[in-house]
Amino acid sequence: MTMLTIQTQPIEGQKPGTSGLRKKTNVFMGPHYLENFVQAIWDGIGGIAGKTFVLGGDGRYFNDRAAQVILRMAAASGAAKVIVGQGALLSTPAASHLIRSRGADGGIILSASHNPGGPDEDFGVKYNTANGGPAPEDVTAQIFKATEAIKSYRILEAQDVDLSRAGATKLGEMQIEVVDPVADYQALMQQLFDFGAIRALLARGFSLRFDAMHAVTGPYAKAILEDALGAARGSVINAVPSPDFGGFHPDPNPVWAKPLVDLMMGPEAPDFGAASDGDGDRNMVLGRGIYVTPSDSLAVLAANAHLAPGYSGGLKGVARSMPTSKAVDRVAEALGIPCYETPTGWKFFGNLLDAGRATLCGEESAGTGSDHVREKDGLWAVLLWLNILAVWGGSVRDLMQAHWQQYGRNYYSRHDYEALPAEQAEGMMAELKARLSDLPGTQAGGLVIESADEFAYDDPVDGSRSEGQGVRIGFEGGGRIVFRLSGTGTVGATLRVYLEQVDAKNLDLDPAQALAPVIRAADEIAGIARHTGRSGPDVTT
């Protein structure tokens, strides 16, 4: 085996976004693109000699090839060991768990999450640190700096490593351990949840449908929901990971998981429905005839987590991303625990979880998780729901109704305007930011604006400050709009408009109706139609 040093030069645009570096697959497959970024990771973290890493991905197109390149580059730079998921597969939460449980120095996850996969779609590379979580901003800044300074990368000339079977092997001097991607994760779930109670619930005829969306959660959901818990065969659908996710977006929301939503709203609905995304960290939850917004899911899980063994001691605190609805805030208040508001991006929860300040975290973008790993975790959320329902005894609808009666209801929706020309989206945001100080006291959509600012986050653990994290508009009575540009898209700019209205009395309104004044206000305040020329959002969730 020969160690090669390949001359290269910086490639523009290798700045990690909200969650790693995401680009079109053919960009990643271009000359030196993946190699430059991987070498920049090694350089950005101060070298990898003698270190141990975890490696796996969501099985999308190029996952297998990229894994082989990364193994050869890790061996060439002196890594001691890489623990790889069989077939180069690992869900994001399972990778996070492996990094933690094996005491690894970090890990690389190959995924563009909920973005579609295939030769013409998206690919991504994400670096996680030793705590199992996404690299924080200071680390991604070092990696980006290294992409701008790179002159060469090191790679071993070698045959592919056989990743099709679990077991130990070597590449040059580096050890490779190929592991069953599901086993360790399943053991962790068994520690956190009362599998006996869930099994009994399912044995009583409680029916469920889990849509793995042709993505990585399929094998996990089959093993846990069907094999271990006894859900009827066929309860997990689209369970075989495919490189292009069957041609769909593996994004568990009412748009991309419409067949599941239709089923849950129809006469044949099972008791419980759920879906997960490309890399298994997102979740969507539904009951018969009811869709649970991710923000509500976080609030309900926080209020009832103590019903599951892993959380029976109560929660130390909760955290939500800024655009996530404030439903969980009232639960935290009632429980007498702190509630943290962080910028969008799971990486911002890491310090709070590590410091023991928060136990549960969640985001409007279909993410919920806890301190069991340092990523959001789709199947974990499903199991916590099932454990709660098994103990609580009622349906999803009953649980939501009881929750809203106690805490009031936060009607919530997100409007996405996708693939906008970047200058157009940035121009709109700049105009909006310039007007912020004039807005309080004025009216929009018939609502009185109470506050208007741009969110900045001061991390209470390490004191770091993150500015420019989205524009917040607050209305009298508790309504809210947040405007921000996505950090995960790969084409142009995506404008996200987050809409929220609180109602303590009317708990059964159509969300679109409850939110109508806030939606009108969003356009009046930001001039969305004027700037974008669009009459409405591309995706409403």
Catalytic site positions: 113
Could you tell me how many residues of this chain bind ligand G16 (CB under 6 A)? 17
Question: Of 459, 496, 502, 541, which lies in the binding site for ligand G16, with binding defined by CB under 6 A?
Answer: 496
Q: Which stretch binds ligand G16 (CB under 6 A): 258-266, 455-463, 482-490, 532-540?
A: 482-490
Of 349 and 404, the one with the shorter C-beta distance to ligand G16 is 349
Give least dist CB 141 to ligand G16, A: 17
Q: Is 424 in the site for ligand G16 (CB under 6 A)?
A: no
Of the candidates 481, 494, 425, the residue with the CA atom closest to the CA atom of residue 450: 481
Cβ pair 499, 414 in contact under 8 A: yes
Task: Give the one residue of 14, 365, 501, 532 binding ligand G16; rule: CB under 6 A.
Answer: 365
Smaller CB separation from ligand G16, 293 or 365: 365
Identity of the residue numbered 226: E
| Cross-strand pairs, 414 | 498
Within 105-144, the residues that bind ligand G16 by CB under 6 A are 113-114
Q: In 10 A of CB 319, how many CB atoms?
A: 25
Tell the smallest beta-carbon distance from residue 39 to ligand G16 (Å). Answer: 23
Q: Is 342 in the site for ligand G16 (CB under 6 A)?
A: no
Structure tokens belonging to residue 187: 């053991």
Nearer to ligand G16, 58 or 194 (CB): 58
Using the rule CB under 6 A, which residue among 218, 345, 369, 474 binds ligand G16? 345
Which residues neighbour 243 within 8 Å (Cβ) at sequence distance 6 or greater?
Answer: 59, 60, 61, 63, 117, 118
| Smallest separation, CB 441 to ligand G16 (Å) | 30
Out of 43, 105, 296, 363, the only residue in the binding site for ligand G16 (CB under 6 A) is: 363
Helix (H) or strand (E) holding 370: strand 367-370
Minimum Å gap between C-beta 433 and ligand G16 is 18
**Phi (first) and psi of residue 355, to 5 degrees:** -85, 0
466 near ligand G16, judged by CB under 6 A: no
Q: Which two tokens stand for residue 520?
A: 């009108």
Residue 488 in contact with ligand G16, rule: CB under 6 A: yes
What angle, 0 to 180 degrees and rounded to 10, lies between the N-to-C axes of helices 137-149 and 33-44?
A: 120
282 binds ligand G16, rule: CB under 6 A: yes
- As to burial, measured by CB atoms within 10 angstroms (0-12 exposed, 13-18 middle, 19+ buried), residue 74 is buried
Q: Return the structure tokens found at 168.
A: 């130990």
Tokens 């604006």 belong to residue: 449
What residues line the site for ligand G16 (CB under 6 A)?
18-19, 113-114, 281-282, 321, 344-346, 363, 365, 367, 486-488, 496
